[in-house]
Amino acid sequence: MTDKTLTPITEQEELKKFCKSLSEGDFICVDTEFHRETTFWPELCLIQASAPGVEGLIDPKADGIDLQPFLDLLADTSRIKVFHAARQDMEIFTRLMGKPPAPIFDTQVAAMALGLGDSISYDNLIQRVLKRHIDKSSQFTDWKRRPLSDKQLKYALGDVTHLRDAYQWMRDELSALDRTDWVASEMQELTDPALYDNDPKNAWQRLKFRKTHKDYLAVFAAVAEWRERQAQALDRPRRRILKDEAVQEIADQKPKSEEHFDRLRAVPKGFIRSRTANGLTETVEAAAADPEAYAPRLPKRQQNPQTPAGAPEMLKVLLKAVSDDNNVVPRLIANAADIERIARGETSEDIAAFTGWRNEIFGKKAHALLTGKLALSFENGQVRLFEPKT
């Protein structure tokens, strides 16, 4: 790794040449360093990228730099973009591009399909796949400060050079196991624009509401929207505007005066008189006065059938056995909510475990288990599946 490689790109022509080199491969590995502790929007501090035979760093904070050539590469659907734990990187680029990069490959998700671990960290993945040790001492350094040290730059670049090698190994392993489609279906969810929606009107959906009557929901949704708008406008984390508990308490109490706001436990005393609270009183008053107009429409609640005693536990044993047999992380096949629904006898195709490859290795067996066509036993400490005699 030369000194030139460890110099971030700060000039437009250099960026264009780097992007042209990246475009010659069929995939690009991407990572970012950003700052978000005190802001709503992540502040992009460094971009790392690699492809076969090329790697480099882009300084998005350099004067006059225009990231469009790199964003065009991310928007090119003929090329796979490789990330590890892609969610936050995708959020950053979705805001810059107006849409999520696609198609993508998330090595953290792929690791689940290869039985390497659930939510495996990057350094653990590289150690397991490539037998390399990564020095993480620069992980939490100040990426906003310039100039960045050689140690920081070497660490940052390693995030995409190791990723390049790991991706190629994982891609080949998935192909050999005929599991490429397993990962591709998971990637479709990560490229759904709705996942990165920051529309303040939908902010209430991220929170758990305690009640379902309209006068509560109206204030709850209105205050959540107000907080989101304030957080975005002031570029401060939501919790620095109001904590989730405060949104709940305001919806429950519907304070009408400064004194009433000051009596709320989750709202800091004097907050309502601060500039940050601008418009909050009027928001609460308007929502409380017209719940019909402000309350979100909730889907009609369905009466769930009673879960048979022991059914979830049996399904979890089956899931563990199937996961072990196929060397797949259980959560990739079915999550806790899926297990509960299956235990109640639901067979809807909106349950992921009843679709595609999941249905083949688990869904069909789960249904057979609950209908008496499959049974579980233990032999020498191992779970055995068999068809009971009738």
Answer yes or no: are the C-beta atoms of 212 and 218 closer than 8 Å: no
Per-residue pLDDT for the chain (390 aa), expressed as one digit of tens each?
A: 444 558 999 999 999 999 999 999 999 999 999 999 999 999 999 999 999 999 999 999 999 999 999 999 999 999 999 999 999 999 999 999 999 999 999 999 999 999 999 999 999 999 999 999 988 777 788 999 999 999 999 999 999 999 999 999 999 999 999 999 999 988 998 999 999 999 999 999 999 999 999 999 999 999 999 999 999 999 999 999 999 999 999 999 999 999 999 999 999 999 999 999 999 999 999 999 999 999 999 877 666 667 788 899 999 999 999 999 999 999 999 999 999 999 998 888 889 999 999 999 999 999 999 999 999 888 888 888 888 876
Alpha-carbon span 79 to 1, nearest angstrom: 26
Domains of the chain with CATH codes? 12-196 (3.30.420.10), 200-294 (1.10.150.80), 311-386 (1.10.150)
The neighbouring-strand residues paired with 54 are: 51
pTM: 0.89
Q: CA 56 to CA 16: how far, in whole Å?
A: 12
pLDDT of residue 1: 42
- Return contacts of 18-21, CB within 8 angstroms, 24+ apart: 18/49, 18/54, 18/56, 18/58, 19/69, 19/70, 19/72, 19/73, 21/51, 21/53, 21/54
Quick: pLDDT tens for 45-99.
999 999 999 999 999 999 999 999 999 999 999 999 999 999 999 999 999 999 9
The tokens describing 97, both together, are: 């591009």
Token duo for residue 350: 């909106």
pLDDT of residue 76: 96
**What pLDDT shows up at residue 349?**
80
Owner of token pair 């009609």:
300
For the chain, the C-alpha Rg in angstroms (whole number) is 25
SS (H, E, C) the chain: CCCCCCCCECCHHHHHHHHHHHCCCCEEEEEEEEECCCCCCCEEEEEEEEECCEEEEECCCCCCCCCHHHHHHHHCCCCEEEECCCHHHHHHHHHHHCCCCCCEEEHHHHHHHCCCCCCCCHHHHHHHHHCCCCCCCCCCCCCCCCCCCHHHHHHHHHHHHHHHHHHHHHHHHHHHCCCHHHHHHHHHHHCCHHHHCCCHHHHHHHCCCCCCCHHHHHHHHHHHHHHHHHHHHHCCCHHHHCCHHHHHHHHHHCCCCHHHHHCCCCCCCCHHHCHHHCCHHHHHHHHHHCHHHHCCCCCCCCCCCCCCCCHHHHHHHHHHHHHHHHCCCHHHHCCHHHHHHHHCCCCCCCCHHHCHHHHHHHHHHHHHHHCCCCEEEEECCEEEEECCCC
